[in-house]
Amino acid sequence: MLYNSRRVITLARKLRVVDYFALGWGTMVGVGWLVVMDDWLLRGGVLGAILGFAIGGALLLPIGYVYGRLVTAMPDAAGEVAYTARVFPQSISFTTGWMMILAYFIVCPWEAVAVGRIAGYIFPALDSIELYRIAGQPVYLPHLLIGLSLTGLLTGLNYRGIRLSATFQNWTAFGTLALFVLFVGFGVSKGSPRNFPPLFTHSPFVSVLLVMQIVPYFMTGFESVVKGAEEASPEFRSRGFFKAIWMAIVVGILFYTIVIASVGYVAPWKQLTSEKFMTAVAFEHAVGSRWIVSVILAAALLSLFKVFNGNFVAASRLLFAIGRRGLVDRRLGHVHPRNQTPSIAVLCIGLATGACMFLGDAILVPVSEVGSVASAIGWLAACAAYYRMRPAPREQFIAAVGLTVGLLMILMKILPGIPGHFTGYEWLALGIWVLLGGGLGWRRSAGTNSL
């Protein structure tokens, strides 16, 4: 909130249950199923990838339950920051919020880069005018311009108002689901179970583990529902938060497992992992026509728009909330007097996304790894806070399960003896973010002490 001499300016209250589902599921499911399907299948094989997403997703249900209980009791845009502030020191609250901002924000440049890759696949002439290379990956001028244009569009959309943003989110989310049903339903009619092998690329345990390690990144988003909690319409019932969160998780699990199984069913996937977008190539291989590729790319573009917009909403609301609490510069907690949006936070996320785009395609897979850990840290902290609030024994048990899941998801990425652990690039990215947060926290403390 921003106080002035006349009235209290609050965020606009216009969201309904369907809007929260579209936000949660839409923020979760992006274009990984098109852009990095080869990485998923090379990690685990068809069955390994299916089990990895199914088990990893199911393990998030206790965490979703905890979030549903917390947001019902505390409908605060600060989310994890508000929950941890009730029972832990301010340093833990800030650290949790800062890591969750990373989990949301890091998706924005990911999608801004991915839209250039998809556009280049549709129009090969766009893969030209190479500016430079990062980690061996070229950065093309047309890709940059397309990504920056989309970033500008979504920044303007969210600056203008949440209802406009929510309408965009609904159309893109349900449009993606409709096209998904169309291309999967038609494509699998041409496939064969003979295409499934190899079911695992390593031993069954290692295959499933390698996929489970990235599930937190690709399933992050269900908890974005709580970041819009202050924007619920006056007629909204708090139980709707719980429904939206669980629906987002369940539909997310079904989406990922079905699309992986479909790719493995329609074509001999092992022969296609070197292709640029193997999901589209696999369906084209099965159908023998280019039209299905057009449907898949249309679904991918809609999905990209919604996941970009959803993460933009979540990141800007969380940045706004920690600014309002004085954990960073209080100007980030400003609410636009006419649009009733966190305008300064929105502009900051838009500018930072545009800047990170210049890292190009090299950020795609490492970003998945860092985002997984950042999400798991936030989930662990929320469950720990709920446990410390001492609810009924049954509730404490569910919180303990969620806390354990979050901890295991962190450990399997940072412990060096586990396959698929962090490499130098991931540690570097995480370290830069931690130092940036530490610097902002130090400046806030220094400014407070000087008053």
DSSP string of 233-265, one letter each residue: -TT--THHHHHHHHHHHHHHHHHHHHHHHHHHH
Between CA 335 and CA 77 the distance in angstroms is 13
Contact assessment for residue 245 and residue 72, using Cβ atoms and an 8 Å cutoff? no
Dig out the tokens for 387 from the structure.
Answer: 């446990």
- Residue 306 pLDDT: 95
Q: What is the Cα–Cα distance from 322 to 328, expressed in whole angstroms?
A: 6
Give the model's pLDDT for residue 3.
Answer: 37
Token output for 112: 């801004």
What is the distance between the alpha carbons of residues 27 and 305, in angstroms, rounded to a whole number?
10
Q: For residue 7, what pLDDT is reported?
A: 58
The CATH number assigned to the domain with range 14-438 reads 1.20.1740.10
- Strand 137-140 to 8-9 pairing: unpaired
- Report whether the peptide linkage leading into residue 366 is cis, meaning its omega lies within 30 degrees of zero: no
CB within 8 Å of 447: residues ≥ 6 apart: none
Residues 157 and 162: their CA atoms lie apart, in Å, by 8
At 4, list the tokens: 């002035």
Answer whether 267's CB lies under 8 Å from 187's CB: no
Angle at which helices 291-324 and 90-105 cross, to 10°:
160
Q: Which residue in this structure is represented by tokens 């800062």?
A: 98
List Cα–Cα distances, 341 to 143, 154, 160, 288, in angstroms: 30, 13, 7, 48
For every one of its 451 residues, what pLDDT tens digit does the chain have, with 9 covering 90 and above? 443 444 567 888 999 999 999 999 999 998 889 888 999 999 999 999 999 999 999 999 999 999 999 999 999 999 999 999 999 998 899 999 999 998 899 889 888 988 888 888 888 899 889 888 887 788 889 999 999 999 999 999 999 999 999 999 999 999 999 999 999 999 888 889 999 999 999 999 999 999 988 888 788 889 999 999 999 999 988 889 999 999 999 999 999 999 999 999 999 998 998 888 899 999 998 888 889 999 999 999 999 999 999 999 999 999 999 999 988 888 999 999 999 999 999 999 999 999 988 887 666 566 667 777 888 899 999 999 999 998 889 999 999 999 999 999 888 888 887 777 788 778 887 888 888 887 776 666 555 544 4
Q: Which helix (H) or strand (E) holds 404?
A: helix 393-414
Instruction: Tell me how far apart the alpha carbons of residues 181 and 203 are, in angstroms, rounded to a whole number.
Output: 32
Report d(CA 92, CA 84) in Å as an integer.
7
Say what the pTM is.
0.89
Give the distance between the most distant pair of CA atoms in the chain: 71
Query: 275 near 245, Cβ under 8 Å?
Result: no
Alpha-carbon dihedral angle through residues 112, 321, 366, 435, given to the nearest 10 degrees: 120
End-to-end CA separation in angstroms for the chain: 22
Alpha-carbon span 12 to 450, nearest angstrom: 35
d(CA 249, CA 405): 15
Instruction: For residue 394, give the amino acid letter.
Output: R
| Predicted pLDDT at 216 | 81
Q: Specify the pLDDT at position 446.
A: 53
Which parts of 161-203 fold into alpha helices (H)? 162-187
Are 236 and 17 in contact, with CB atoms under 8 Å apart? yes
The answer to whether 371 touches 106, Cβ cutoff 8 Å, is: yes
Contact between residue 354 and residue 148 where contact means Cβ atoms under 8 Å apart: yes
DSSP 127: S
- Distance (Å, whole) CA 215 – CA 54: 9
Count of CA atoms in the C-beta half-sphere (13 A) of 175: 19
Which sign, positive or negative, has the C-alpha torsion 11, 12, 18, 22? negative
Structure tokens at 202: 């390593």
Cβ atoms 130, 173 nearer than 8 A: no
- DSSP string across 44-112: HHHHHHHHHHHHHHHTTHHHHHHHHHHHHH---TTTHHHHHHTTS-HHHHHHHHHHHHHHHHTHHHHHH
What is the dihedral sign for C-alpha 119, 121, 126, 131?
positive
Cross-strand bridge partners of residue 132: 139
Q: What is the pLDDT of residue 363?
A: 63
Neighbouring residues of 95: CB distance < 8 A, sequence distance ≥ 6: 437
